Amino acid sequence: MLLIQNITKTFFPGTVNERVALNDVSLQLNTGDFVTVIGSNGAGKSTLLNMISGRLPIDSGDLSIDGSSVKRMPDYARAAYVGRVFQDPMAGTAPDLSIEQNLALALRRGQRRGLAWGVTHKRRAFFREELLSLELGLENRLKARVGLLSGGQRQALSLLMASFTQPRILLLDEHTAALDPQRAELVTTLTESIVEKHHLTTLMVTHNMEQALRLGNRLIMMHEGQIILDVDAERKATMTVPDLLAEFAKIKGASLDDRALLG
């Protein structure tokens, strides 16, 4: 499905600010995998997602989806395979366009966009049905500007837009981090049900260790540009947050500042 081989990424190479964000990272995701990614700030989690989505070029290594390399594919072309929800609730939607227009844009993911009407009766009925599953009442506000929605509503909509065309891979970049606890819980629950419904292969970065343990069938921990821990479904089911922290401390051989990880 998704195969990452020996990816390396260095920011500002050759300057005093040189920083290795990813150091020889390899990772394989099987179809239907739901992998949660944790790690302290600067561990390379977001960079990994940016590599997969094509937002930043890869220095070395290879990246392939369904067996073909997408390393040289620009971000907009890779979007045909990769759906993404950003941390910033404002980032995933166009605020001046209506809910139905945003959904129409997402519906054409990876396809040619021609001179057919963006919002048709048929599409509108489909959007209404999809929005119904969010249980936020947005199905009655199809013509409302997205800029009028709350952060949680916008993030739920972003999630729907990233996933309802069933991309090969869904990337979630701390998509609940900017929301208040209640909204975050709502979006987390939605994430669970949407991934389940479409059997999406998902990579979710989170700062919340409890969430990382609760969701998905696999967990990886990153530190200083490397994957230092890979937990399978069986072991993950019995793991607790203290277990994770202990594991981290053991691997690094150093005591750990909890707050750096718990965010």
From candidates 97, 239, 241, 256, binder to another protein by CB under 8 A: 97
Rounded-to-integer distance, Cα 235 and Cα 239, Å: 6
**Which residue's CB is nearer to another protein, number 74 or number 263?**
74
241 binds another protein (CB under 8 A): no
61: Cα within 13 Å, side-chain hemisphere: 22
Shortest CB 113 distance to another protein, Å:
4
Burial 90-121 (b: 16+ CB within 10 A, else e): eebbeeebbbbbbbbebbebeeeeeeeeebee
Q: Are 123 and 213 in contact (CB under 8 A)?
A: no
Q: Which of 15, 16, 67, 76 binds another protein (CB under 8 A)?
A: 76
53 binds another protein (CB under 8 A): yes
DSSP β-bridge partners for residue 226: 223
Nearer to another protein, 32 or 147 (CB): 147
Measured CA to CA, the distance from residue 139 to residue 131 in angstroms comes to: 5
- Spatial separation of the C-alpha atoms in residues 12 and 10, rounded to whole Å: 7
Is 105 one of the binding residues for another protein (CB under 8 A)?
yes
H runs (alpha helix) in 20-78: 45-53, 75-78
Among 24, 75, 139, 192, binds another protein (CB under 8 A): 75
Size of the site for another protein (CB under 8 A): 38
Q: How far is the CB of 223 from another protein (least distance, A)?
A: 27
- 3 state DSSP class of 202: strand
CB of 229 to another protein, least distance (A): 29
- Least distance to another protein from the beta carbon of 95, Å? 7
Q: Name the site residues for another protein (rule: CB under 8 A).
A: 53, 74-77, 79-80, 83-84, 86, 90-97, 101, 104-106, 108-111, 113-119, 145, 147-148, 161-162
